Amino acid sequence: MSEPLMHRMHEREAGATDPEQLRQLDAIANAGTMSAAARTVHISQPALSRSLRRLETELGQPLFDRVGRRLEMNEAGRIALEHARQILRDERLMRDALDEAARRTKALRVGTVAPAPLWRLTALIVERFPQTVLTSQMLAEADVEAGIIAGNIDLAVALRTHPLPTVRSTRLMVENLAVALPADHALAGRSAVSAAELDGETFLLLADIGFWRERCDRHLPHAQFVVQEDRGVFEQLTRTSALPYFVTDAPSLSAPASGRVVVPIRDAMAHATFYLLARTEGRQETTDVFDWVSRQ
């Protein structure tokens, strides 16, 4: 290769000219004629001819010998084509690498009706797919189902399976509610209590407990709730106050404070089975996570 042509090709590799011209040069070589190449790159033949002339001007020498109506690639053209194809290969590799990086880091969107199954799901994902990132939001049951159908969320944690064939469902976990009472509370010696027996008490209650709050309001209509937004403050009050509060058997949750007696709640309102939902034609990452959870 002559020094001027080599210098100009190095300029191309640095991005000094339009990569589309390289694709056009490759198309001409592959198609054999300007008209066929023009169809391949979806431009008119005159536009392709003008683009080729600009490329030759930028590189400082002709790339084709014009024999009558025909174009024959000359030695400079073959050298330029070799380098152009390498540049195009590098561009494809760069785009593939960027796409893979985006695929690995793009977060899966999760909607859940309660926090504990989200922690369970996160633990399972970290075990098998440690690079996966999740974004999550607490939603009402109806919003969770609507979100998964509309594709606004990738995975949903719901209280029931879904009837539509476009939604896959698998059991995720069971959570059972109990009450943590002071040791001297009148109900502390019971093996189990009912919601009716607890109704009228004043409870410490953590905010953002999802559907559990609605169940507490509905089944304990005469109870009072001292709601804490901050988990650290809530946990401090469980150690320093005499107010009852709710605990569950979810393994992610901390143990009750000392001096407390945990009494199960027997009513159906205190028991929940959670299901993981996903669209049948969702992202591959979503399918991989769903299949993994289904096998656990």
Q: Which of 22-26, 104-108, 197-201, 205-209 has the lowest mean pLDDT?
A: 104-108
Q: 75-105 and 19-31 helices cross at what angle (nearest 10)?
A: 120
Q: Please determine, for residue 7, whether its predicted confidence score (pLDDT) is greater than 50.
A: no
pLDDT at residue 103, rounded to an integer: 57
Q: Please determine, for residue 221, whether its predicted confidence score (pLDDT) is greater than 60.
A: yes
What's the pLDDT tens digit per position in 88-123?
A: 888 888 877 766 665 555 788 999 999 999 999 999
Q: Which of 22-31, 55-64, 215-224, 251-260 has the highest mean pLDDT?
A: 215-224
Q: What percent of the chain has pLDDT above 70?
A: 89
What's the pLDDT tens digit per position in 159-181?
A: 999 888 999 999 999 999 999 99
Which residues touch 233 (CB under 8 Å, ≥6 apart)? none
The whole-angstrom separation of Cα 261 and Cα 182 is 6
Structural domains of the chain in order of their starting residue, each with its CATH number: 3-103 (1.10.10.10), 108-293 (3.40.190.290)
Q: What is the mean pLDDT of the chain?
A: 86
pLDDT at residue 1, rounded to an integer: 41
Q: Let me know the angle formed at the C-alpha of 128 by 274 and 293, rounded to the nearest 5 degrees.
A: 25
| Rounded alpha-carbon distances, angstroms, from residue 38 to 12, 51, 66, 83 | 22, 11, 17, 21
Q: Are strands 134-138 and 202-206 parallel, antiparallel or unpaired?
A: unpaired
pLDDT at residue 167, rounded to an integer: 94
pTM of the predicted model as reported, rounded to 2 decimal places: 0.64
